[in-house]
Amino acid sequence: MDRELWEPFLGFTYVRETGAEIENFLFSVSRAGCDACDENFEIIRENDYEFYTLHVLLEGYGFFRIAGREYFLKKGDVFLITPGQAHMYCNRSSSSLVLLWVELQGGNCKEIFSRFSITGTYVLQNLQADKMVAQLLEMLRHMKEGERNVYESAGEVYTLLMYLLEAAEKVTGQQLPGTLLQALVYIDHNFMEQMRVQELAERLHVSHTYLNRLFQKSMGLSPNKYINMKRMEYACYLLRTTKMSCAEISEKIGMYDNAYFYKVFKKAIGMTPVDYRDEK
């Protein structure tokens, strides 16, 4: 999605008027917005959160924790929150991230979101999400201008959620450049091995500079950051589900320097591997 399409909405937040009653059978928006979040951005909520929430990461690189799992977020990812789920999300890069988001209630939100939560699918990557983003921006425009009544707003939310379901049915990554898709598949299958970006570029018959530019443009992060992102996700899983030592986990994920593993993990997760395991 081109920046000029969503940039006019940066900093705008819609909040439904207090006391505005809406029939339970209608979809309704409680809040929505488009925010640029600085490098210290962090949201932490307990399990009393009551909204069905959809976020699209338009720019940047972040981190999301829900239902006992950790996810690293990149440009273009969609992440979902359902009521009653304690969660946290934040910026884990040195620059700001941009979020497009909407909090929903009513209608068939429970039935639609349960199609994802029942399988533990809270993050959707490589979506063909342009229609969904365009619909949400159109909704923000109407909220900003006060053009819609509750029935028209409910119809717009329904369309947004149908686009979400449609995009989720087509999670193929086909909208990504072929070279980038090949790189992602290779990394996803080999991130546990020692891997140099230069060697990956040579395998794909492109230059290191071109591969780095491709990652930055399409995903908002470097190949090295993506590799470490996959490693940290797997490290969290191993810390959660095994009794492997940190040194063993470091080696298992292809980071043979245990001190470096500690440093990268703490920067990505916000705590040391030992503290993470103790917390769980």
What values do phi and psi take at 15, rounded to 5? -130, 125
Domains: count for the chain: 2
* 91/182 same-domain check: no
Are the C-beta atoms of 55 and 101 separated by less than 8 Å? yes
Task: Name the domain boundary from 135, 169, 203.
Answer: 169
Please state, in angstroms and as integers, the Cα–Cα distance from residue 199 to each residue in 205, 207, 260, following that order: 10, 10, 21
Q: Which residues pair with 14 in a beta bridge?
A: 32
* 154/191 same-domain check: no
Task: Name the domain boundary from 140, 169, 198.
Answer: 169
* 191/244 same-domain check: yes
* 202/138 same-domain check: no
* 197/157 same-domain check: no
Q: What is the mean pLDDT of each run of 10 residues along the chain (280 residues)?
A: 85 82 82 89 90 93 85 88 91 79 90 83 80 93 87 92 85 67 86 88 92 84 87 87 90 88 84 83
Task: Name the domain boundary from 136, 169, 202.
Answer: 169
* 12/132 same-domain check: yes
* 26/164 same-domain check: yes
Q: Which domain holds residue 202?
A: 178-279
Is the four-CA dihedral 56, 7, 166, 145 of positive or negative sign?
positive
The confidence score (pLDDT) of residue 90 equals 87
Are the C-beta atoms of 70 and 233 separated by less than 8 Å? yes
The confidence score (pLDDT) of residue 94 equals 63
266: domain CATH number? 1.10.10.60
* 16/92 same-domain check: yes
DSSP state of 8: G
* pTM, two decimal places: 0.75
User: Per the structure block, which two tokens stand in for 157?
Assistant: 């939310």
* 72/145 same-domain check: yes
Strands (E) in the chain, as ranges, are 12-15, 27-37, 42-45, 52-59, 61-66, 69-74, 78-81, 87-91, 97-106, 123-124
36: domain CATH number? 2.60.120.280
The confidence score (pLDDT) of residue 269 equals 79
End-to-end Cα spacing for the chain = 38
Give the dihedral of Cα atoms 222, 230, 162, 34; nearest 10 deg.
-50
* 155/21 same-domain check: yes
* 31/158 same-domain check: yes
How far is it, in rounded angstroms, from Cα 261 to Cα 93? 17
Task: Note the helical H segments in 195-271.
Answer: 197-203, 208-219, 223-241, 246-252, 258-269
The confidence score (pLDDT) of residue 93 equals 60
Residue type, 27: F
* 251/216 same-domain check: yes
* Nearest CA among 18, 19, 43, 14 for reference residue 29: 14
